[in-house]
């Protein structure tokens, strides 16, 4: 199992924390002069049983200079292909890509421009596992998520015939289960990875960073905010009881953490990198 850092990017701090006043969230994650906070696009690579599985794939190559500027794309820090290489693999080795949802900061690496400027699949030998309801939602889109669903990512995927639909809570591959949630967008799937001893959940945009555990600390991007509050409370309670570890995709500092129950509720424990176990 490897962390695959695909590059840093920036999103508006206000949008990332919804109704939380800036003096509070800024103490946790400082903003730049354009009010953006730096986020990771950290993916997970799973090796085993003749499969190489990648969960999400980051923002990908910038669509334009303007796009790179708006989102403060930083691929100096890290980049998808360099990270795969450091883990001993390349994109052609990946057999399965599990996409938690189709916002560009999760699936932007799915496609890239070839030398003729045409968009091509990056993982040419992979199946792409997506929740069916989310696929249908993204293909019709809506004004709130218009900037998040990019045709450059989705059209080549639709044409490729490599989308494997996942229906609700089901096993995607052996030991890997989809946990669908509906607050951030329609049918996002968290990914629960279990072996004999441990369970790790890739929590995607239910908890984009470790600073999103408190009920009201949630993104303005969510399409159903009250649903997120319920799903977050329910998940944190369940995860703490079951001793699941959490994998954070966007937290700039922490990849993995556990949970503990205190008088203040369920809180973070033992933040670490994947390599530290």
* Residue ranges binding Zn ion (CB under 5 A): 103, 205
Q: How far is the CB of 201 from Zn ion (least distance, A)?
A: 16
Q: How far is the CB of 219 from Zn ion (least distance, A)?
A: 8
Choice between 52 and 97, CB closer to Zn ion: 97
Q: How far is the CB of 174 from Zn ion (least distance, A)?
A: 27
Choice between 2 and 103, CB closer to Zn ion: 103
Choice between 89 and 105, CB closer to Zn ion: 105
Choice between 111 and 189, CB closer to Zn ion: 189
Q: Is 238 exposed, middle or buried (0-12, 13-18, 19+ CB in 10 A)?
A: middle
Three-state secondary structure call for residue 179 = strand
Q: Which residue is nearest to Zn ion (CB)?
A: 103
CA 172, 178, 182, 185 torsion: positive or negative?
A: negative
In the chain, count H helices and then E strands: 8, 15
Q: What is the distance, to the nearest Å, from the Cα of residue 177 to the centroid of all Cα atoms in its chain?
A: 16
Please tell me the number of Cα atoms within 13 Å of 71 on its side-chain side.
24
| 151-160 and 132-140 helices, crossing angle to 10° | 130
Q: How far is the CB of 98 from Zn ion (least distance, A)?
A: 15
Three-state secondary structure call for residue 83 = helix
Choice between 53 and 190, CB closer to Zn ion: 190
Q: How far is the CB of 263 from Zn ion (least distance, A)?
A: 32
Q: How far is the CB of 274 from Zn ion (least distance, A)?
A: 22
Q: How far is the CB of 86 from Zn ion (least distance, A)?
A: 26
Q: How far is the CB of 265 from Zn ion (least distance, A)?
A: 25
Three-state secondary structure call for residue 11 = strand
Residue in this structure with the two tokens 């951030």, named with its chain if needed: 184
Choice between 42 and 103, CB closer to Zn ion: 103
Choice between 139 and 261, CB closer to Zn ion: 139
Q: Which residue, among 190, 228, 221, has the nearest Cα to 13 in the 3D structure?
A: 221
Three-state secondary structure call for residue 167 = coil
Choice between 15 and 215, CB closer to Zn ion: 15
H or E element, residue 151: helix 151-160
- Segments of the chain assigned E as strands: 2-12, 36-48, 51-55, 96-98, 111-113, 119-121, 127-131, 163-166, 171-173, 176-181, 188-194, 199-202, 245-247, 256-262, 265-272
């Amino acid at each position: 199992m490897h962390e695959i850092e695909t590059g840093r990017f920036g999103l508006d701090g206000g949008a990332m924390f919804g109704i939380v006043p800036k003096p509070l969230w800024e103490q946790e994650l400082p903003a730049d002069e354009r009010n953006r906070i730096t986020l990771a696009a950290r993916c997970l690579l799973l090796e085993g049983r003749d499969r190489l599985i990648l969960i999400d794939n980051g923002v990908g190559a910038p669509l334009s200079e303007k796009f790179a500027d708006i989102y403060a794309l930083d691929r100096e820090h890290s980049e998808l292909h360099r990270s795969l290489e450091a883990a001993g693999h390349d994109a052609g080795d990946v057999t399965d890509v599990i996409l938690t949802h189709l916002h560009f900061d999760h699936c932007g690496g799915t496609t890239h421009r070839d030398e003729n400027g045409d968009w091509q699949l990056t993982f040419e030998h992979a199946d792409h596992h997506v929740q069916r309801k989310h696929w249908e939602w993204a293909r019709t889109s809506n004004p709130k998520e218009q900037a998040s669903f990019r045709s450059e990512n989705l059209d080549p995927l639709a044409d490729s015939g490599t989308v494997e639909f996942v229906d609700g809570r089901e096993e995607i591959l052996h030991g890997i289960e989809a946990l669908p949630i509906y607050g951030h967008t329609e049918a996002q799937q968290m990914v629960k990875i279990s072996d004999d001893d441990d369970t790790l959940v890739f929590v995607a945009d239910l908890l984009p960073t470790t600073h999103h555990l408190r009920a009201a600390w949630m993104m303005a991007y969510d399409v159903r905010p009250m649903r997120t509050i319920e799903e977050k409370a329910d998940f944190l309670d369940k995860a703490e009881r079951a001793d699941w570890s959490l994998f954070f995709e966007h937290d700039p500092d922490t990849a993995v953490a556990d949970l503990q129950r205190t008088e203040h509720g369920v809180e973070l424990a033992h933040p670490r990198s994947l390599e530290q176990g």
